[in-house]
């Protein structure tokens, strides 16, 4: 039973899950989400529990421990006992809660981390779109390579038939031996081209496996031919006329990074603002075990201000301002690049449509010409050179039409990418639906 051919939809799904760029982008996005969670440290409360044990003869420590254990007696004030106390054991335990009340740098840092987390998610979506473009190119490149092998294989069989026909005509004295030699030379050229095409087909399959993120899996069953010219043309015209109001995910990511940089610059300025934090704790001191004895409690509020700490604040101001300028320039560059790529994709679609139409006419005309010359040669009114040239022209035109189909498919994929659209619409070429990626929203 023949294995089912891999569809474009299946290829996209494999790439979405396993492609190296997608896996890396998901990992980066996950790390940036974790950074946003880490930034909560300066906003949410901290709960801490401590326990320990000491045994000492230090006079001050012994008196303090005895007092904390609520075991002071009158005899403890005797000078000899104060100066030379016996060793005292003490189990300490504490539960403390610290709640930030106003830490401007933590709040602004949390905002910057949140924007970076969203930027990571947008970059991950863009990696999927980028990968799908690469999968489309590699998928149809592999099919094109197989088509080239099939076409050249048929051309080689025809070339061998031309050789046999020329040799038969030579025996009958209708043509010179040169005709048979020329036909044999042409057959050798076609055979060389076929060998090269088989090599390209093998590497194209490897390229597809790498694009899918499964480089060891090159035993892939592919469709036997490229989609029809009519199907590709219809898809290209639909892509050409589609609206492009959405914001590309890479532009969204750049915009969010710009906002994160601005927030981080504000955080650096807030380092000059005092911090206010509160705390509450219970303490236990006992001679026998932790969390025994009488409990003590303490609550308080503390304000701290560090107007100068070795020029650290100044360095943070300068660094974050530089990052903000770079992020703003990157955002503007991403927006300009998106507009340029959209314009380029429009031109590529127009050129691709015209090229395919010309290639279709050429293939039809070359086929008709080859048939006419073949009949003339069989009747002895055309030379072997004319026959071989006509056969080569038909083969070249068939390959040229396939290349034109491939180029137009790539142009459609580039158009979808340039407009920020999901490439799942391209599965109309094989009729297999793909789960659509959510469209990136403006920040």
- The pLDDT tens digits of the residues spanning 169-200 come to 778 776 668 877 887 888 888 889 899 989 99
Q: Provide the residue ranges of all domains of the chain, joining segments of one domain with +.
A: 8-44+103-274+311-429
Which band of pLDDT confidence, cut at 50, 70 and 90, is reported for residue 390?
A: confident
Q: What is residue 432's predicted lDDT score, i.e. its pLDDT?
A: 40
Q: What is the mean pLDDT of residues 124-142?
A: 95
Q: What is the mean pLDDT of residues 118-145?
A: 94
Q: Is the pLDDT of residue 325 over 90?
A: yes
Q: Is the pLDDT of residue 440 over 50?
A: no
Which band of pLDDT confidence, cut at 50, 70 and 90, is reported for residue 439?
A: very low
Which band of pLDDT confidence, cut at 50, 70 and 90, is reported for residue 409?
A: very high
Range with the lowest mean pLDDT among 109-123, 278-292, 307-321, 428-442?
428-442
Top-confidence residue, 348 or 152:
348
Task: Compute CA distances 192 → 145, 152, 216, 297, 388, whole Å.
Answer: 15, 10, 29, 91, 16
Q: Are 368 and 394 in contact (CB under 8 A)?
A: no
Q: What is residue 359's predicted lDDT score, i.e. its pLDDT?
A: 93
- Find the helix packing angle between 104-171 and 384-418, rounded to 10°: 170
- The pLDDT tens digits of the residues spanning 211-223 come to 999 998 878 888 8
Q: What is residue 174's predicted lDDT score, i.e. its pLDDT?
A: 65
Q: Write out the DSSP string of 331-376.
A: HHHHHHHHHHHHHHHHHHHHHHHHHHHHHHHHHHHHHHHHHHHHHH
Which band of pLDDT confidence, cut at 50, 70 and 90, is reported for residue 337?
A: very high
Fold of 8-44+103-274+311-429: Outer membrane efflux proteins (OEP) (1.20.1600)
* Residue 228 C-alpha from the chain's centroid: 30
Q: What is the pTM of this model?
A: 0.82
- The pLDDT tens digits of the residues spanning 229-243 come to 999 999 999 998 887
Q: What is residue 438's predicted lDDT score, i.e. its pLDDT?
A: 41
Q: Are 3 and 221 in contact (CB under 8 A)?
A: yes
- Find the helix packing angle between 384-418 and 312-378, rounded to 10°: 150
User: Which two structure tokens, joined as six digits, stand for 304?
Assistant: 């701290």
């Amino acid at each position: 039973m023949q294995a089912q051919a891999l569809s474009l939809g299946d290829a996209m799904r494999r790439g979405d899950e396993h492609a190296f760029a997608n896996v890396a982008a998901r990992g980066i996005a996950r790390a940036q989400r974790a950074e946003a969670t880490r930034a909560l440290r300066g906003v949410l409360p901290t709960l801490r529990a401590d326990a320990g044990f000491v045994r000492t003869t230090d006079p001050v420590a012994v008196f303090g421990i005895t007092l904390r254990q609520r075991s002071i007696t009158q005899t403890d004030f005797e000078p000899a006992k104060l100066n030379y106390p016996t060793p005292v054991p003490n189990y300490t335990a504490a539960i403390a809660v610290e709640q930030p009340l106003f830490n401007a740098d933590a709040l602004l840092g949390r905002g910057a981390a949140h924007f970076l987390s969203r930027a990571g998610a947008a970059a991950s979506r863009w990696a999927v779109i980028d990968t799908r473009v690469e999968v489309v190119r590699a998928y149809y490149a592999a099919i094109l390579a197989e088509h080239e092998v099939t076409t050249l294989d048929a051309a080689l069989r025809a070339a061998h038939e031309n050789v046999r026909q020329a040799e038969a005509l030579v025996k009958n004295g209708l043509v010179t031996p040169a005709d048979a030699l020329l036909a044999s030379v042409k057959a050798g050229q076609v055979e060389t081209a076929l060998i090269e095409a088989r090599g390209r087909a093998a590497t194209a399959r490897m390229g597809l496996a790498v694009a899918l993120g499964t480089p060891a899996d090159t035993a892939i069953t592919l469709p036997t031919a490229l989609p029809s010219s009519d199907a590709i043309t219809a898809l290209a015209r639909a892509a050409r006329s589609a609206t492009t109001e959405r914001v590309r995910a890479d532009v969204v990511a750049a915009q969010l990074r710009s906002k994160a940089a601005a927030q981080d610059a504000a955080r650096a300025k807030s380092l000059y603002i005092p911090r206010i934090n509160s705390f509450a704790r219970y303490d236990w001191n006992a001679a026998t075990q932790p969390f025994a004895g009488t409990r003590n409690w303490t609550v308080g509020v503390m304000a701290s201000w560090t107007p100068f700490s070795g020029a650290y604040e100044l360095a943070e101001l300068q660094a974050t301002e530089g990052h903000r300028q770079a992020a703003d320039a990157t955002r503007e560059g991403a927006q300009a690049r998106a507009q340029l790529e959209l314009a380029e994709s429009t031109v590529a679609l127009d050129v691709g449509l015209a090229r395919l139409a010309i290639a279709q006419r050429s293939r039809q005309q070359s086929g008709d010409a080859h048939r006419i010359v073949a009949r003339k040669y069989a009747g002895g009114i055309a030379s072997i050179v004319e026959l071989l040239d006509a056969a080569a022209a038909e083969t070249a035109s068939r390959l040229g039409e396939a290349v034109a189909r491939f180029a137009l498919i790539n142009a459609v994929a580039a158009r979808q990418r340039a407009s920020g659209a999901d490439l799942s619409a391209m599965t109309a070429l094989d009729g297999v639906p793909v789960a659509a990626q959510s469209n990136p929203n403006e920040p």
